[in-house]
Chains A and B, each alone.
Chain A
Amino acid sequence: MQVFDITKWQLASVIACGYNFFSEGRLEEAKKIFEGLAVLDPNHPYVQTMLGAIYQRMKQYDRAIVRYTFALKLHPNDVCALTNRGEIYLMLGRFTEAADDLKRALQLDSQKKTPAAYRARLLSIVAAESLQSLRQKHPAQTKSS
């Protein structure tokens, strides 16, 4: 059920305003705008992905994961949400989940033109190389189970 009437112009202007704050690094203002929008229109994937990115940049990783996961329910092919959640999983040492997200992001970018998927490619390579070099430097620590 829709309680409030908002026109396409109004919604577009608020989203554009929130994105401007985000791209200028004004994360607190961006958060206020997208949190407000999420209360008015919770099932909008862009709103949820933006909240994920805002919390990621604020290093509030648990909150970011919750938002990206919600966004992916609404838009399963969201390459930005997959790449960003994959990166957070990497930072948290949740490597299997990270690999799943990054791989999916790359599979979705079949035309190889999404900037987020470029980051996913690079993150995957850096992760694989870092883990391999760790095994070479510390073989005793990474002995196979």
Chain B
Amino acid sequence: MVPENVKAVQEEIIEAALSQPPESIEQAIRSFDWISRMEIQSEVPALTTAEKTMPPPGFVAEPIDYLVIAEANQASAGELVPLDELTSALQSQDARSQKALDSFLQTGIQESLRSFKLRPGTKISPPEILEPLNELLSADQIKNLNASRLQPSIDAVNELYSTLKKVQNGMTHLELNRLRMIRA
């Protein structure tokens, strides 16, 4: 019997295929010709056991596992912290501590963004990918701050902070409860 999660995938593929013109389905079949050449069928456990072993849709490895591979592949490190340093930090328990989170909330980023006096600009819908603050606040852009471009990015930082503050408050409650239990 085909497990439910595989069956759902099959149904969605067939539905998507049926919405295509016939020649597209033939092309689609040809697109997957490489499977027989790669002999991958024998590597995958039978579909009947897939329920337990298949990761869910939208699976992403844990940060540490992902970053070790990214570092080995010389992927972009972003702009804030080199990949090797971030990897070593994630390996430590300290990364999951309240202290690290508290210190992020005290960096003053939110306060410094609040200090910009933005004149309301023309309202436009936020772009698909929000503009990075380091570009919007670069030396040549800062003279002519554009509120309609800057505001969505500032809003995203504010949302980040408010979410983390809720986590911080939750952690504080947990810590207080633990202390009460120790004293009791």
Q: Which residues of A come within 8 Å of B, CB atoms?
A: 1-17, 19, 22, 29, 32-33, 35-47, 49-50, 52-54, 56-57, 63-64, 66-67, 70, 74-80, 83-84, 87, 90-93, 95-96, 98-100, 103, 106, 112, 114-116, 118-119, 121-132, 134-135, 138, 141-145
B residues adjacent to A (C-beta < 8 A): 6, 9-10, 12-14, 16-20, 22-29, 31-32, 34-35, 38, 40-41, 43-44, 47, 50, 53-55, 57-63, 66-67, 69-70, 73, 75-81, 85-86, 88-90, 92, 94-97, 100-101, 103-104, 107, 109, 128-134, 137-139, 153, 156-157, 159-164, 167
Contacts of B156 in A (CB 8 A): 32, 35-36, 38-39
Answer whether A116 and B61 are a contact pair too, CB < 8 Å, given A17-B101, A36-B156, A144-B26: yes
User: With contacts A12-B89, A91-B12, A135-B25 known, is A33 near B163, CB below 8 A?
Assistant: yes
Q: Give the nearest-CB partner of B41 in chain A.
A: A125
Question: CB within 8 A of A46: which of B57, B67, B73?
Answer: B67
A19, A128, A135 pick with most chain B CB within 10 angstroms: A128
